[in-house]
Amino acid sequence: MSCERSDGIKRLGLIVNPVAGMGGSVGLKGTDGKDILQEAIALGASPRAPLRAAEALEELSLRKDGIEIFVFSGDMGASESASAGFRTVLLGAGSEGRLTSADDTVMAARLMEEAGVELILFAGGDGTARDMVMAVGTRVPVVGIPAGVKIHSPVFARNPAGAGKLADLFLFGSPMGLEELEVMDIDEEAFRGGIVRTSLYGYLRVPFERRHLQGGKSGGGKSEAVELDGVVREAASRMTPGVLYLVGPGSTTAALMRRLGCEHTLLGVDAIRDGRTTGKDLSEKEILKIVEPGNTRLIVTVIGGQGFILGRGNQQISPEVVRLAGKENIMIISTPSKLRSLIGKSLFVDTGDTLLDMELCGYIRVITGLGEETIFRVER
């Protein structure tokens, strides 16, 4: 983490992906890749992200004297920062007439990290979030200003004003926690063809407001770390010798693997048996080779804010894999914090196999703590 300046001035990074969101208005479902972008411009799309970034900065306008904003020049943030009247520090050149690409975002974020910013606000969509994962990962706190067509990742605030408010609270409010949230993205090519294929690309660290401040009555509150410890201990206690476990992607399942002392991949499907990793980052084909009908259990977690347990970010666990393992052999693990917004609502499956999805619908138990399960309705 960066150090605070002795004069109390906060350092904020601002990255605007000027082309984010341009595909949406002309029905192109995203602008990842140069050809598509050219097409969007040809169809008359106009930049949307700069306006969204300006909306977010508006929330910080009372703090003008207390912030220094680090930017790339031109339409990557400099003009928004300067025209809103903030002290603006140029770290490099943005597009300057040419079209920006993912490399510009990555470069800007890395230079901001070096400059010691306390937070980066970035305006874009899921593709921009992926660039942020590549650039700074979980090293620098970030807040996403939703400006893209695809917003599947929970790292984005609900609207630009929300992103500005969160930045304000983080920089000037009482101390806040940070949580690692998923960066999800869909395959745009497939999406244009009408197929939703979402993958998990990594995690970013986002400030979060305490949603569960404790009153004096109910005793000790549990931080998410403590909850997570309970969940993985419960899951570990239910594992049986000799059984093959296929462990899906996500930070919750990764915590289980750490507890078991198993090598693992954060974003892939791993296989373990008797506490040892027998396969890492397996593809569907590789899984089908090793799966043992009647002796295989799947361990998955709820991915993203929308409550998907199968079909988002873990497509390697294909309908065929689920059928071979048996749908009664799916173990779902999640901390209560991750599920809080979903309680009383539903979890979702979208395996691509309608019949299987229908079979999976109904009520399902989710391991939510030591000796504890919470019931959820599953829909497709």
Partner 1 sequence: MTKKLRPFHHMRWNEPIIYQLSVSGQRGILVPEAEEEIRAIIGDGRSSIPDTMRRNDLPNLPEMAQPQVVRHFNHLSQENLGADSNIDIGQGTCTMKHSPKINEIFARSPKLADLHPLQDPSTVQGILEIFFRTEDLFREISGLDCCSLQPGGGTHGVLALASMVRAWHRDRGEDESRDEVITTIFSHPADAAVPKVKGYRVIILPPDEEGLPDLDAFRSVVSERTAAIFFTNPEDTGIFNSRIREFTDLAHEFGALCCYDQANANGLLGIARAREAGFDMSFFNLHKTFSSPHGCGGPATGLVMVDKKLAPYLPVPVVKQEEESGLYYLDWDLPKSCGKVKDFFGVAPVVVRAYAWIMALGADGLEEASRTAVLNNNYFMKKMLQIRGCSLSYPNHPARIEQARYSWEKLKEETGFGTADVQRRIADFGTHYWGSHEPWVVPEPFTIEPSESYSREDMDEYLEIMAEISRECYEDPETIRHAPHNSTVHHIDHDYFDDPGKWAITWREYTRKYEGYFRKR
209 binds partner 1 (CB under 8 A): yes
Q: Which of 27, 85, 221, 293 binds partner 1 (CB under 8 A)?
A: 221
The answer to the question of residue 362 lying near partner 1 (CB under 8 A) is: yes
Q: Could you give the 3-state DSSP secondary structure of residue 344?
A: coil
Residues 42-81 that bind partner 1 (CB under 8 A): none
Q: Does 358 bind partner 1 (CB under 8 A)?
A: no
Q: Is 265 exposed, middle or buried (0-12, 13-18, 19+ CB in 10 A)?
A: middle
Can you name the residues that pair with 279 across neighbouring β-strands? 271
Does 240 help bind partner 1 (rule: CB under 8 A)? no
Residue closest to 350 by CA, chosen among 247, 197, 184: 197
| Number of Cβ atoms within 10 Å of the Cβ of 181 | 23
Closest to partner 1 by CB, 6 vs 237, is 237
Q: How far is 101 from 111, CA to CA, in rounded Å?
A: 16
Q: How far is the CB of 201 from partner 1 (least distance, A)?
A: 28
Binder among 29, 48, 150, 165 for partner 1 (CB under 8 A): 165
| Euclidean distance between CA atoms 326 and 293, whole angstroms | 7
Question: 139, 202 in Cβ contact below 8 A?
Answer: no
237 binds partner 1 (CB under 8 A): no
Stretch in the footprint of partner 1 (CB under 8 A) among 34-42, 83-91, 264-272, 339-347: 339-347
* Residue number, 348 or 376, with CB nearest to partner 1: 376
Q: Which range binds partner 1 by CB under 8 A, 22-30, 186-194, 324-332, 335-343?
A: 335-343
CB of 127 to partner 1, least distance (A): 28
- Does the protein bind partner 1 through residue 373 (CB under 8 A)? yes
**In what side-by-side order are the strands of the sheet with 142-146?**
87-92, 67-72, 10-16, 119-124, 142-146
Position among 99, 226, 236, 355 found at the interface with partner 1 (CB under 8 A):
226
